[in-house]
Structure 1
């Protein structure tokens, strides 16, 4: 049944790697004794810059792997490969250098020698019994599974089958593009598209469609060619069929979740993390 509502899905626990990552490092830095006032400002700048450089390096690695996998699965023409088009859009937004993009494509086409990569999703229970699905792109699955198993165990959880708690869905975010259509008009048009299951109005005057993951390409084509709308983001992911309510005042649990999710996010093989926690 089609729903058109602002709050279509429960607010699932999300995290901003930038905010959490920088906050943790800032807290550590504040515990350092200030011995040399004249050098303290530069030390802070250098420290924060180092964190940002590390963070950007991890992001660039993930983006390059996603481009490589997209080309491997669907070819190097973004006009025919929606996953590649989405990966290139993300790369552009993150200012991934052109050389990195070109090299990722060449590796996928075999023009540059590279290790074979795989797209593997790992499952398990994290802190508080929360179910997690962790999507990875890896050239060494033995290393990846060892690291993820360590993260789950350290957080008091375990790797186990939890995918039955989720439905795999596609999502497409779009705006009016070159048209002057209102949100109501856009919603009316989107409702007419086959396989659209849900539509959500977002805060930036755009809409998000929820659909079967297999229908993303077809819906993208209809939005852009029939209605001339601009597609901002496309992705496939997992939506929980049931959620676990998290008490935000439980500091111990929130700290465990923060550490666990930072560990996942900081791993260069991890592309997406899904969970069934609700705040």
Structure 2
């Protein structure tokens, strides 16, 4: 596994500004709306919606905003039609990118993405050219003071297939075991700081620091686009590159 929490740490620090917080709330609102549209407005029976609500609450998104987003999904409030799209691309130095987009205008979304990539040394890829380099996984970040041995036993017993300890404890699962592992961690009294489905690179690529920073800058530019929800890369993100990025 590679760098998910490290890149998230950078994003969370940058999200402290009002502009970044507004972008985050927009992303969360779209996720809430789509989740409710697909599975209904009751998080008890809609796992995706439950995860989206948890993420929105963790980001201190106002309750009224959460409720309005859900109602747009269930049709109780009017809203623009949203489309979920996945684009594949290359950043400089051969790094593959998977880019999740939610938009009400497909033409605008792809034009903005092409412009951002071409301006920063990247390019769009044909469908399937990059996706094979990733595997869909369940991801759980455990916050607070974690007893590593206890977490390992609880998560592994529930079906986790990889557990890592860095700035936060990270648990990765197969899709079918995700809910069971998440619930087991919560029932053990541990703090679930984040729980979501992610794309993890099968083989992460370690670059020289200057090359890694070039790729990370491209990812940051893409993430700032209005319609982009998430960007996943095959880059192995080092602590040194993070420190340099934060100092920039």
Give the TM bin, normalised by the shorter chain.
0.7 to 0.9
Q: Could you tell me which of 197, 215, 226 is aligned with 1:257?
A: 215
Q: Could you tell me which of 188, 205, 208 is aligned with 2:153?
A: 188
For 1:167, the equivalent position in structure 2 comes to 135
Q: Note the aligned Cα RMSD (angstroms).
A: 2.8
The 2-side partners of 1:182 and 1:63 are apart by 31
After the TM superposition, which residues 1-279 of structure 1 pair with which residues of structure 2 at under 5 Å, given as runs?
9-11=1-3, 14=7, 16-17=10-11, 52-160=17-125, 161-174=129-142, 182-194=147-159, 196-203=160-167, 207-225=169-187, 227-250=188-211, 254=213, 256-278=214-236, 279=238
Contact 1:176 1:186 in 2 (8 A): no
Instruction: Sort the Cα spacing of 1:187 and 1:152 in 2 relative to 1 into closer, same or farther, 3 A.
Output: same
SS of 2:78's partner is coil
1:44-87 per-position Cα deviation (integer Å, ceiling 9, x unaligned):
xxxxxxxx332222121111111111212222222333322222
SS of 1:67's partner is helix
The 2-side partners of 1:218 and 1:21 are apart by 30
SS of 1:197's partner is strand
Contact 1:167 1:239 in 2 (8 A): yes
The 2-side partners of 1:230 and 1:87 are apart by 16
Instruction: Sort the Cα spacing of 1:268 and 1:214 in 2 relative to 1 into closer, same or farther, 3 A.
Output: farther
Instruction: Sort the Cα spacing of 1:262 and 1:10 in 2 relative to 1 into closer, same or farther, 3 A.
Output: closer
* Alignment coverage as a number of residue pairs: 232
The 1-side partners of 2:144 and 2:219 are apart by 35
1:239-259 per-position Cα deviation (integer Å, ceiling 9, x unaligned):
111222221145xx73x4354
1:215-249 per-position Cα deviation (integer Å, ceiling 9, x unaligned):
32233234445x45443321111111122222114
Instruction: Sort the Cα spacing of 1:249 and 1:105 in 2 relative to 1 into closer, same or farther, 3 A.
Output: closer
Instruction: Sort the Cα spacing of 1:223 and 1:75 in 2 relative to 1 into closer, same or farther, 3 A.
Output: farther
Q: Which has the larger radius of gyration?
A: 1
Deviation at 1:127, TM superposition (A): 1.4
SS of 1:14's partner is helix
Contact 1:148 1:264 in 2 (8 A): yes
